[in-house]
């Protein structure tokens, strides 16, 4: 029972990260005049600045630098940085090329990847109703893929990269906090960001500081917009089982799907509606399981 407060804060942080990610496509659409390579570069650089600012304010900067002596931390954060780069890059491409719905499909597949990693790699156990929920989710994803009409490679890349990223973050959790982890992840990506920004500048396509002030401010805003949900996600990943994170992840793609259909007016044939309906049935089954387990715990604690 002593872990209950930590798990509760982890669930709140996890849900918060997914709600923020759910509305993120709107931000990238507003930045539509900026190319995907430049956007991901500024995400890296301004996220790093934001994280360093937090570490400085909380007086953790020196202690964070000392963590670089640990080879395991360096290797884990390099792996996490590479994974999040691919996720960011392809996600931005999806948003800027009218494929928000396909991006949401990727994040509907992602919980299955996360749950499977939790079971197969970390040895986490699923209860019967959780298995029912997962099977329903798998059926829904299959229907959504059929409804999409072709193999959605972009969705698979998003699902795989973020699923494995979540596993790495789960392993990092006990070694450093969310801010320290994201700081290292973005540090390793700085050379990539500098190269991409330099290429944009050489080609004369760099948008930062070249046009209106609003665009520049929004590009700077990529720092907190990127870092805050990732910090919440990193905190949550270290507090709750990976399989729990997998189930919570349905919040973000649902909101992204709504954005794609009702804001960007991407097509939504009936078969896609069927797939989403089955997903929500699976979530209802999960909520019943959680409610039953909580009731059982309350009975035991008061006995």
Q: In the 3-class helix/strand/coil scheme, how is 231-255 assigned residue by residue?
A: HHHHHHHCCCCHHHHHHHCCHHHHH
Place of tokens 């919980």: 111
Q: What is the model's pTM?
A: 0.82
Q: Is pLDDT above 70 for 298? A: no
- Judge whether residue 214 has pLDDT over 60: yes
Question: Per-residue pLDDT for 141 more than 70?
Answer: yes
What whole-number distance in Å separates Cα of residue 170 and Cα of residue 192? 25
Q: In sequence order, which residues have a C-beta less than 8 Å from that of residue 95 and are 6 or more positions away?
A: 25, 28, 29, 103
DSSP 177: -
Cα separation, 191 vs 187, in Å, equals: 8
In this structure, of 66-70, 84-88, 157-161, 278-282, the range with the lowest mean pLDDT score is: 278-282
Judge contact between 258 and 104, C-beta under 8 A.
no
Confidence class for position 218, pLDDT limits 50, 70, 90 = very high
CA 39 to each of CA 57, 122, 180, 249, 268: distance values in angstroms, whole numbers, following the listed order:
27, 35, 23, 24, 28
Q: What is the pLDDT of residues 156-201, one digit of tens each?
A: 899 999 889 988 988 887 788 888 999 999 999 999 999 999 999 9
pLDDT band (50, 70, 90) for residue 66: very high
CB atoms under 10 Å from CB of 207, counted, come to 19
238/76 Cα distance (integer angstroms): 14
* Distance of alpha carbon 220 from alpha carbon 47, whole angstroms: 9
Whole-number Å distance between alpha carbons of 34 and 246 = 32
In this prediction, residue 63 has a pLDDT band, given cuts at 50, 70 and 90, of very high
Q: Which of 231, 162, 140, 200 is nearest to 239 (CA)?
A: 231
Determine the pLDDT at residue 56: 95
Let me know: does 290 contact 145? Beta carbons within 8 Å: no
Specify the 3-state DSSP secondary structure of 260: helix
Tokens read off for 150: 């072709």
Does the pLDDT at position 303 exceed 60?
A: no
Under 8 Å between Cβ of 215 and 35: no
Closest by CA position to 287, among listed 2, 20, 11: 11
What size, in residues, is the chain? 303
Q: Could you tell me which residues come within 8 angstroms of residue 46 by beta carbon, excluding any fewer than 6 positions away?
A: 219, 220, 221, 222, 223, 224, 226
Q: Note the Cα 138 to chain centre separation in Å.
A: 20
Check if the beta carbon of residue 100 is closer than 8 Å to that of residue 25: yes
| 33 alpha carbon, distance to own chain's centre | 24
What pLDDT is attached to residue 2? Answer: 45
């Amino acid at each position: 029972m002593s872990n209950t407060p930590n798990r509760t804060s982890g669930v709140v942080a996890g849900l918060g990260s997914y709600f923020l990610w759910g509305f993120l496509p709107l931000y990238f659409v507003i930045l539509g005049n900026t190319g995907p390579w430049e956007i991901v570069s500024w995400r890296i650089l301004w996220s790093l600045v934001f994280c360093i600012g937090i570490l400085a304010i909380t007086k953790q900067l020196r202690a964070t630098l000392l963590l670089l002596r640990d080879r395991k931390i360096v290797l884990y954060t390099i792996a996490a940085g590479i994974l999040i780069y691919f996720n960011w890059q392809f996600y931005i491409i999806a948003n800027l090329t009218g494929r928000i719905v396909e991006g949401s499909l990727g994040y509907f597949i992602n919980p299955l990847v996360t749950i499977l990693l939790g079971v197969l790699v970390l040895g986490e156990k699923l209860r019967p109703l959780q298995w029912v929920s997962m099977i329903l989710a798998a059926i829904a994803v299959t229907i959504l893929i059929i409804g999409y009409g072709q193999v959605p490679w972009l969705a698979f890349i998003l699902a795989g990269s973020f699923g494995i990223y979540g596993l790495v973050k789960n392993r990092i959790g006990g070694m450093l906090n969310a801010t320290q982890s994201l700081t290292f992840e973005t540090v390793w990506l700085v050379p990539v960001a500098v190269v991409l920004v330099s290429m944009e500048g050489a080609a004369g396509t760099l948008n930062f500081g070249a046009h209106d002030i609003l665009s520049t401010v929004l590009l700077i805003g990529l720092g907190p917009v990127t870092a805050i949900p990732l910090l919440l996600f990193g905190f949550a990943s270290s507090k709750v089982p990976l399989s729990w994170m997998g189930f919570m992840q349905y919040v973000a793609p649902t909101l992204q799907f709504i954005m794609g259909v009702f804001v960007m007016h991407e097509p939504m044939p009936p078969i896609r509606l069927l797939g989403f309906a089955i997903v929500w049935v699976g979530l209802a089954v999960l909520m019943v399981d959680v409610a039953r387990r909580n009731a059982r715990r309350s009975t035991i604690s008061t006995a």
